Structure 1
Amino acid sequence: MTLNTNFRGPCTFIHIALTRFLLHHSSNFVKMASKTLTASCRCNSVHFTVTIPTEVLPLKIHLCHCSICRYSHGAPCAFHAPLPPGVELQFIDPSGYDKMTSYRHAASVATGYFCSTCGCQIGGFESQWTISTSIFDANREDEGIWKFNSHMLPDSAPDGGLAAVFSAVDGHQMETENLGLSPQAIAGSDSKPPDRESKDLLAQCHCTGVSFLIARPSEKFIASPKSKGLISPSDKRKWLARMDLGDDSRLVSGANVISWMSVSADHITPRLPKDLLIGSAKAYCPSKDTLLVFCGTCGATVFSHSEERPEIVDVAMGIVRAPEGAMAEDWNVWATKVSRPENGMRYQAGFARALTEGMQRWGAERGHPQDSGLA
Structure 2
Amino acid sequence: MKPTEKLKVLTASCHCRKVQFTISIPADALPLKVHLCHCSICRHTHGTLCTFHTRLPSGIEPKFISPSSSNELTAYDYSNSLSTRYFCSTCGCQIGDQSHKDKSWVISNAIFDVNKDDQGIWRFSTHLYPSSATDGLAPLIPVIDGNTLEMLDPESPNTPMPPANESTDTDLLAQCHCGGVSFKIVRPKAEFIANPESQVWLSPIDRNKWLACMDTCDDCRLVNGTHVIGWMFVPVSHFSPTPSTNLVIGSSKTYRSTSDVLRTFCGTCGATVFYNCQDRPEIVDVAVGILRAPEGVMAGNWALWRAGRVSWLENGLRYHAGFSKALMEGLKLWGIERGHPDDFIIP
Per the normalisation by structure 1, the TM-score is 0.88
Q: What's the secondary structure of 2:96's corresponding residue?
A: strand
Matched with 1:349 is: 321
* Cα offset, 1:372, TM superposition: 2.9
The answer for unaligned runs of 5 or more in structure 1 is 1-25
**Structure-2 separation of matches of 1:103 and 1:140:** 34
Matched with 1:58 is: 31
Code of the residue aligned with 1:357 in structure 2: it is: E
**Structure-1 separation of matches of 2:20 and 2:13:** 4
**Structure-2 separation of matches of 1:92 and 1:266:** 43
Matched with 1:164 is: 139
Matched with 2:190 is: 219
Code of the residue aligned with 1:269 in structure 2: it is: S
Q: What's the secondary structure of 2:137's corresponding residue?
A: helix
Matched with 1:311 is: 282
**Structure-2 separation of matches of 1:102 and 1:198:** 36
**Structure-2 separation of matches of 1:93 and 1:224:** 53
Which of the residues 85, 106, 110 maps onto 2:58? Answer: 85
CA 93–203 in structure 1, closer or farther in 2 if over 3 Å, else same: same
* Cα offset, 1:196, TM superposition: 5.0
Matched with 1:359 is: 331
* Cα offset, 1:226, TM superposition: 2.9
**Greater helix fraction, Structure 1 or Structure 2:** 1
Alignment of 1:134-173 (within 5 A): 134-139=110-115, 141-159=117-135, 161-173=136-148
Q: Which string of whole-angstrom CA distances, capped at 9 and with x for unpartnered residues, describes residues 107-150 of structure 1?
A: 31100000000000000001200000100024454110000101
**Bigger radius of gyration among the two:** 1
Residue 238 of structure 1 pairs with residue 209 of structure 2:
yes
CA 141–102 in structure 1, closer or farther in 2 if over 3 Å, else same: farther
* Cα offset, 1:84, TM superposition: 0.4
Residue 297 of structure 1 pairs with residue 272 of structure 2:
no
Code of the residue aligned with 1:212 in structure 2: it is: F
Matched with 1:255 is: 226
* Cα offset, 1:220, TM superposition: 1.1
Matched with 1:9 is: none
Are the equivalent residues in 1 in contact too, given 2:167–2:173 (CA < 8 A)? Answer: no
Matched with 1:20 is: none
Code of the residue aligned with 1:351 in structure 2: it is: F
Q: Which string of whole-angstrom CA distances, capped at 9 and with x for unpartnered residues, describes residues 337-357 of structure 1?
A: 110000001111100100011
The answer for unaligned runs of 5 or more in structure 2 is none
Instruction: Count how many residue pairs are aligned between Structure 1 and Structure 2.
Output: 341
**Structure-1 separation of matches of 2:304 and 2:157:** 27
Q: What's the secondary structure of 1:305's corresponding residue?
A: strand
Alignment of 1:276-291 (within 5 A): 276-291=247-262
Matched with 2:175 is: 204
Are the equivalent residues in 2 in contact too, given 1:156–1:186 (CA < 8 A)? Answer: no
CA 227–141 in structure 1, closer or farther in 2 if over 3 Å, else same: farther
Q: What's the secondary structure of 1:134's corresponding residue?
A: helix
**Structure-1 separation of matches of 2:330 and 2:201:** 23
Alignment of 1:2-17 (within 5 A): none
* Cα offset, 1:232, TM superposition: 2.0
**Structure-2 separation of matches of 1:39 and 1:311:** 34
Q: What's the secondary structure of 2:207's corresponding residue?
A: coil
**Structure-2 separation of matches of 1:164 and 1:238:** 23
* Cα offset, 1:231, TM superposition: 2.0
* Cα offset, 1:158, TM superposition: 2.1
Residue 121 of structure 1 pairs with residue 94 of structure 2:
yes
Alignment of 1:320-331 (within 5 A): 320-331=291-302
Which of the residues 362, 368, 375 maps onto 2:340? Answer: 368
